[in-house]
Amino acid sequence: SSSKNEEKTYIIATDKTYPPFEMEDDSGKLVGVDMDLIRAIAKDQKFKIKINSLGFDAACTALESGEADGVIAGMSINDERKQKYDFSDPYYETGVSMGVAKNSGIKGYADLKGKTVVAKTSTAGLKYAQSIKDKYGFKLEVVEESTFMFEKVKSGEAAACFEDYPVLKYMVKTGQLNFDIPCGKESPANYGFAVLKGENKELLKKFNKGLAKLKKNGEYDKIVAKYE
C-alpha cells in the first residue's frame, strides 16, 4: 500500500521535436524550456512525472481521453481551448509567423497567390493560415509534425509555413533552418500548461505554485536563457 509521503506520478504529454521547447539533446534526453520547466516544477512541488513525447495533436487527444494528466507542448492559451482545458498561468509569449526558404522571393502574404502553404494540424499556425487562405489565394496542406512542415518548405514542395515565432527564430538562429521570417507576428498568445477542464486541479495548482517560485528565485530566467 502506498504511504502518505509517496510522491504521485503524473503523465505529461508533449510534442515531438519542437525547439526550443521540447527536443532531444545529443544523448537523446528530452530537453528544452518546457521539459526543464516541468522537471523543475515537479522537483520543487514534490511530484513525479512521466513524459510522453507524442506530437501536438496526439498530446491533446491523450489529455482528452484521460491517457495524460497534463500537456506541456508550447500550447497557446486561447478561448477555444479554454472550453475544454484549464490552463496554468501563462509562462511564455508567442505569436504566429510565416517561414520561407531564404532567397525564395516571398516577402509578404500576397506573394503566396497560387502557391502551396503548409501548417501543422490543430495548431494556432494552421488556424491563422486558414483565416487568410482565401484572401491571398493559396492552397493549404496540413501535416502532423513541425519537422515535416519544414522539410516541405526546404524541398520547395511548399512556398511557406506558419509556425510559432519563437520556434522559427530559434531554429534559424541555431542554423537548423535556412529560413527568412519576412512578416511580423500574428495572433499573439501565451503558452500555458493544460489539464482537462475540471480535472487534476491539484496538479494545476502545483504547477502554478512551482512556476511562481521559479520566477521568483531566478530559475525560470536561467532556463529560458539556456535556450536563447
Site residues, ligand GLN (CB under 6 A): 15, 18, 56, 73-76, 94, 120, 123-124, 164
Beta carbon of residue 63, minimum distance to ligand GLN (angstroms, whole number): 13
- The C-alpha atoms of residue 22 and residue 3 are separated, in whole angstroms, by 33
Beta carbon of residue 22, minimum distance to ligand GLN (angstroms, whole number): 8
33 burial class (0-12, 13-18, 19+ CB within 10 angstroms)?
Answer: buried
Beta carbon of residue 86, minimum distance to ligand GLN (angstroms, whole number): 15
Beta carbon of residue 73, minimum distance to ligand GLN (angstroms, whole number): 4
CA triple 95-99-103, angle to 5 deg: 150
CA distance readout (Å), 123 to 46, 51, 147, 216: 32, 21, 14, 31
Which of 53/76 has CB closer to ligand GLN? 76
Which of 75/158 has CB closer to ligand GLN? 75
Reading the block at residue 5, the C-alpha cell is 509521503
Beta carbon of residue 121, minimum distance to ligand GLN (angstroms, whole number): 9
- The C-alpha atoms of residue 147 and residue 81 are separated, in whole angstroms, by 24
Which of 18/179 has CB closer to ligand GLN? 18
User: Which distant-in-sequence residues (6+ apart) come within 8 Å of 29 by Cβ?
Assistant: none
Which of 68/219 has CB closer to ligand GLN? 68
Which of 45/92 has CB closer to ligand GLN? 92
